[in-house]
Chain A
Amino acid sequence: MLRVTWRNLFARKLRLLLSAFAIVLGVAFVAGSLVFTDTIDRAFDDIVSGSVSDVTVRFDGATTDENGGLIPDARSMPASLVDELAAQPGVARADGTVEGVGLFVIDSDGKLVGGQGAPTLAFNYNDAPSITGEPAVTVVEGEEPQGRDEVLLDERTAENAGYEVGDTVRMVTAGTVPELEAELVGIAEFGGGGLAGASLVLFDTPTAQQIFLGGSDVFDSIALTAEPGVSQDGLAASAEQVLPDGIEAATGDVVAAETEELVGTVLDFLNIFLLIFAAVALVVGTFLIINTFSILVAQRSRELALLRALGASRRQVTRSVLLEALVIGVVGSTLGLVLGFGLAIALRTLFGNFGLDLSGTPLVFQWTTGAIGYAVGIVVTLIAAYLPARRASRIAPVAAMRDDIALPESSLRRRMIVGVALTLLGAGMMAAGLVGEGNTGASMVGIGVLGVLLGVALMSPVLGRPVLQGLGAAYRAVFGTVGTLARENTLRNPRRTAATASALMIGLALVTTMSVLGASINKSIEVAVQEEFTTDYLVSSPTFQPFSTGIAERIRDIDGVGEVVQQQSLGSEIDGDGSFINAADGGAVAEVYDIPVVTGTLDVRRGGIAVSEQKADSLGVAVGDTVTLTFPAGDQEAEVQGVYEQSNILNDALVPLSTLAAAQIPRQDSVVSVNAAEGTSPDELGTALDDVVADLPIVTVQNQEDFTEAQRASVNTLLYLIYALLGLAIVIAVLGIVNTLALSVIERTREVGLLRAVGLSRRQLRRMVRLEAIAIAVLGAVLGIVMGLVFGVVLQQALADQGITDLAVPIWQLVLFVVVAAVVGVLAAVLPARRAAKLDVLRAITTE
């Protein structure tokens, strides 16, 4: 039996490769995602271990919001504490640290370095060692910075920005002084190796204190180094003795773990995002494999029957088919792992363009990646081959002697019942998931979608019939007999046609869902912007980093400027509920924006807060109630003074600027809205604003049109990325069509010969195959688009309260999808059609 299996495999190398290709792509995606995220993980591990000191003395309380965003904290510890700690037993040295937030290097062309990607880390320079024992930073060229006018950069940043030692470096900060210039006196190297694209900017301690801490001799935190033989815990305990309340000594291990957890959250998200596409590719690939094996088994039914007649047991027949699948799985997984490595390199380059530079870290290939790759590839192939294999074993031995063999097939009715059940189950899961919260909800929606897709795929032989018949009628009318033949071919084996189309259906259903969602998001943005963007100009940062309040001051000095409203956004918790709040002068906000107030006022006084209607409902608070706001430096009580309708400008809550001061949060701006004064046209103002920000690449000036365009562009970028990833599934689906057609042509060799013998020309024959391919592709497209529309509308409705308020259906785009599907069909038919046309008439007729 084993020999028979091997012979079969080698006799059908091309077919083997085609089927394996689906596995190759799926496994490549799985492996690529894992390798890439493991590499990021390694890079960040190196950074953490290269920068964390034995013990960090810091303020307690969270310094990041629940999304990992940094909450600015204005608390500082006096320099005297550094001396006190240095004197404690077990402390080899204590170094005060100044961490600068919101500083960016401007390159020699006046553009921001980094920005949207990895952050810029600004510190005071010292040679304190990290837990690795090596100094966190060493000067590799030039000298240490001394004084107000000297700065160090890491090599990559200096290179990217086009600066050499001796050049004057321009920087922008979020502090009170928006701009800064200093001479580059040296190049620093980070002890942990690569910086994953982050930029390092180092000043001497007094300068850093001047820029970031208002000039007093204070620090954000203190790094302690243990004397030889003193453990981290021992060092921390020793330090605790002199620490005042509110300041803690965290061991290096704890800080490293915290950072890794934070990085892990982001990596998990990235991993899941990429693995979803791997799963889509594998599900689609499963259809391809099921189909290929079904056809192979059907073609070989006489041979299998002969084996049975010669005494092979049912199990042996099943096993021989499964063994073929196993080989395909192993070959496909191996190639997939290799390709996955390439994919990881591609991902590294792609993310490098977005600022996550991992070139300093070699790709990490863990044995688990190999194990998972093989497991996924082999299991999927075996599952896909199981049904055809079982069917193969049901062939009666006597079939070997018969001329025409019909394989026993499960009834369409049973299939329908299972399909309907799966669809309903999936729909139920989706509904439950949409109501549910967070990750569980999302994964339930995902499983539900998969259930519906598979359910509809099962039903597609029946659901697709009207589509095929409609197409068939058109074919017949336009192409006559050739059209009729093509139509009959698509209807001859509804399961095969539908299974082939299903692969495309799944891909297109997801593409359509995304395109409906994308269009709806864009429309919602447009509507919201038109309603709420009532000022002439909005000054904001493309990096979403807060910027210096000095910028608003300069804007106020422009002639012809009317109202200027400064807003600072930050993450916080209201009564323990994670919220996105805005601090601004409420009266001014109410004046320039048209935000409907439900009760109370927007003009919140000191110690007050206005919340959105939605937030008020979820918290169960109303005007007059008191809520607790959580900030790093401690909780603040606030009285609810107003409730407003959901607004993209104010998000969850609005507090007066005085609240920030009380919470010791440094004052920075996130958004500044500007109106023209009476007598000044917005265009004139725009020109003046552009002049002011020309030297400050950290901010952009946008009017309503620019803003909508920018929002739309970012939505579309994400959409195109998702399309590109889903394109993978479409490629597999197209291969599926090629495979099915090629196998069908082989299967119908005699019929092709007969048709040619009675006068069908090569051209007509090619057209017949092409029409069949188009029918399959269009069937997949139509079913997929209908499903995608349903998914898209349902998701939009469910997410309406998350801001996707308006439904938009990109009809022309959907029409385009169908047209593209037809073109795809034509392309898929090229090889099978050529093969059919090449068949020698005589040999085709006389073939067995």
Chain B
Amino acid sequence: MTQSPAPSPVDGVEPAARASGLTKLYGAGEAAVRALDHVSVDFLRGEFTAVMGPSGSGKSTLMHCLAALDTVTEGDVVIGGTSLAGMSDKALTTLRRDQVGFVFQSFNLVPTLTARENILLPLAIAGREPDETWYDTVITAVGLADRLDHRPAELSGGQQQRVASARALVSRPSIVFADEPTGNLDSVASAEVLSFLRRSVDEFDQTVVMVTHDPLAAAYTDRVIFLADGRVVDELRHPTSDSVLARMAAIQSEAMSAPPAAPEG
């Protein structure tokens, strides 16, 4: 199931997020590190995508750039039809608030606020009223209706991540980014969180991009993008944990045996 890197968008469908020619340099001159090297990738609406790759492959950097958390050296990011190039910090803040949802590996919630307040935080910051039906739908789906008045410290790790996921979805963002959302969780809690993200794509037509290095987590997604040395090196549709594992092993050995792959076309 070998595909060419840098998949092209499906004709006529506007992607939820698009990176084109994305390059990110850290440092300057001789010491510069090329974290991303002309990455172009589309994330389609209603799709659950995993970004995988060895440590240092640039997967987190890619996500941060896509999510308007980090600036790019070259290239452009488009989210929900808006180009991020040249946007002010204020505009980026507004875009994050209204168009992007986040789930981080840990420390996702404001400890002083209850679960409900945390879920409603982006809306409250924007001064918007939640869409009642949508809110109820998300709350029901996340399965924490009876824990909403608890503070993060009173919730389990899995519950906290589900609250974070609910928060990411409640403002109906164009796209949700999850950075190793199950990195700190046991298998049962991981399954809960991943099932919730899966449902949000299947039932609520959301778009989710998840960085992970766990093949089991990747198996929940529709599509896996593999990064190595700041480039997209492979892509896998309808992954299973075995196929992901095999592909990763292949990339790993390729990297060990040969110098970095030739630049993509």
Interface of A is mostly: helix
A348 interfacial contact with B, CB 8 Å? no
CB <8 Å contact, B122 and A758: yes
Residues A758 and B121 in contact in the complex (CB < 8 Å), given A485-B110, A751-B107: yes
CB <8 Å contact, A841 and B90: no
Residue among A488, A759, A842, A845 making CB contact with B125, cutoff 8 Å: A759
B86 interfacial contact with A, CB 8 Å? no
Among the stretches B38-46, B97-105, B201-209, the one at the interface with A is: B97-105
Distance in angstroms between the alpha carbons of A680 and B109 in the assembled complex: 85
**Contact string, B79-97, partner A, CB cutoff 8 A, digits 1/0?**
0000000000110011011
Q: Which of A714-747 contact B (CB under 8 A)?
A: none
CB <8 Å contact, A757 and B121: no
Distance in angstroms between the alpha carbons of A756 and B97 in the assembled complex: 9
Q: Which of A735-784 contact B (CB under 8 A)?
A: 750-751, 754-762, 764
Q: Which residues of A contact B (CB under 8 A)?
A: 403-404, 480-482, 484-485, 488-489, 491-492, 750-751, 754-762, 764, 841-842, 845
CB <8 Å contact, B121 and A841: no
CB <8 Å contact, A759 and B97: yes
26 sample A-B contacts, Cβ–Cβ < 8 Å, listed by A number: A481-B121, A482-B125, A484-B124, A485-B112, A489-B112, A491-B112, A750-B107, A751-B107, A751-B110, A751-B111, A754-B104, A754-B107, A754-B110, A755-B110, A756-B93, A757-B69, A757-B102, A758-B102, A758-B125, A758-B167, A761-B90, A762-B90, A841-B69, A842-B64, A842-B69, A845-B104
B126 interfacial contact with A, CB 8 Å? yes
CB <8 Å contact, A759 and B113: no
User: From residue A839, how far is it (CB to closest CB) to chain B in Å?
Assistant: 12
CB <8 Å contact, B112 and A762: no
Point out which of B69, B89, B97, B153 has the most chain A C-beta atoms below 10 A from its C-beta. B69
Distance in angstroms between the alpha carbons of A643 and B128 in the assembled complex: 79
Residues of B within 8 A of A488 (CB): 110, 112-113
Select from chain A the residue with minimum beta-carbon distance to B99.
A759
Query: Which of under 10, 10 to 19, 20 to 34, or 35 or more describes the interface residues of B?
Result: 20 to 34
Residues of B within 8 A of A841 (CB): 69
Residues of A within 8 A of B126 (CB): 759
Point out which of B89, B97, B102, B125 has the most chain A C-beta atoms below 10 A from its C-beta. B125
Distance in angstroms between the alpha carbons of A63 and B126 in the assembled complex: 81
Distance in angstroms between the alpha carbons of A284 and B122 in the assembled complex: 40
CB <8 Å contact, B110 and A480: no
B265 interfacial contact with A, CB 8 Å? no
Distance in angstroms between the alpha carbons of A756 and B70 in the assembled complex: 12
Residue among A404, A482, A485 making CB contact with B113, cutoff 8 Å: A485
Distance in angstroms between the alpha carbons of A492 and B121 in the assembled complex: 18
Distance in angstroms between the alpha carbons of A480 and B123 in the assembled complex: 11
Select from chain B the residue with minimum beta-carbon distance to A404.
B153
Distance in angstroms between the alpha carbons of A491 and B125 in the assembled complex: 20
Distance in angstroms between the alpha carbons of A490 and B21 in the assembled complex: 46
Distance in angstroms between the alpha carbons of A566 and B102 in the assembled complex: 89
Residues A481 and B125 in contact in the complex (CB < 8 Å), given A758-B97, A759-B93: yes
User: From residue B198, how far is it (CB to closest CB) to chain A in Å?
Assistant: 23
CB <8 Å contact, A492 and B112: yes
CB <8 Å contact, A760 and B93: yes
Distance in angstroms between the alpha carbons of A789 and B76 in the assembled complex: 64
B117 interfacial contact with A, CB 8 Å? yes
Residues of A within 8 A of B122 (CB): 758-759
Distance in angstroms between the alpha carbons of A489 and B126 in the assembled complex: 20
**Contact string, B43-61, partner A, CB cutoff 8 A, digits 1/0?**
0000000000000000000
Residues A762 and B89 in contact in the complex (CB < 8 Å), given A480-B124, A484-B113, A845-B104: yes
Residue among A481, A489, A759 making CB contact with B96, cutoff 8 Å: A759
CB <8 Å contact, B107 and A759: no
CB <8 Å contact, B69 and A845: yes
Residues A759 and B70 in contact in the complex (CB < 8 Å), given A751-B110, A754-B104, A754-B107: no
Distance in angstroms between the alpha carbons of A842 and B24 in the assembled complex: 14
B240 interfacial contact with A, CB 8 Å? no
B20 interfacial contact with A, CB 8 Å? no
B263 interfacial contact with A, CB 8 Å? no
CB <8 Å contact, A842 and B112: no
CB <8 Å contact, B102 and A481: no
Distance in angstroms between the alpha carbons of A757 and B67 in the assembled complex: 9
CB <8 Å contact, B125 and A764: yes
B195 interfacial contact with A, CB 8 Å? no
Residues of A within 8 A of B104 (CB): 754, 757, 845
Distance in angstroms between the alpha carbons of A760 and B102 in the assembled complex: 13
Distance in angstroms between the alpha carbons of A403 and B109 in the assembled complex: 15
User: From residue A81, how far is it (CB to closest CB) to chain B in Å?
Assistant: 89
B243 interfacial contact with A, CB 8 Å? no
Residues of B within 8 A of A845 (CB): 69, 104, 107
Select from chain A the residue with minimum beta-carbon distance to B60.
A846
CB <8 Å contact, A761 and B64: no
Distance in angstroms between the alpha carbons of A480 and B129 in the assembled complex: 12
Select from chain A the residue with minimum beta-carbon distance to B110.
A751
Distance in angstroms between the alpha carbons of A764 and B126 in the assembled complex: 10
Residues of B within 8 A of A762 (CB): 89-90, 93
CB <8 Å contact, A754 and B108: yes
Residues of A within 8 A of B167 (CB): 758
B127 interfacial contact with A, CB 8 Å? yes
User: From residue A623, how far is it (CB to closest CB) to chain B in Å?
Assistant: 75
Residues of B within 8 A of A755 (CB): 110, 121, 125
Select from chain A the residue with minimum beta-carbon distance to B157.
A403
User: From residue A590, how far is it (CB to closest CB) to chain B in Å?
Assistant: 73
Select from chain A the residue with minimum beta-carbon distance to B179.
A845
CB <8 Å contact, B94 and A759: yes
Distance in angstroms between the alpha carbons of A750 and B108 in the assembled complex: 9
Distance in angstroms between the alpha carbons of A760 and B98 in the assembled complex: 11
Distance in angstroms between the alpha carbons of A90 and B246 in the assembled complex: 121
Distance in angstroms between the alpha carbons of A755 and B98 in the assembled complex: 14
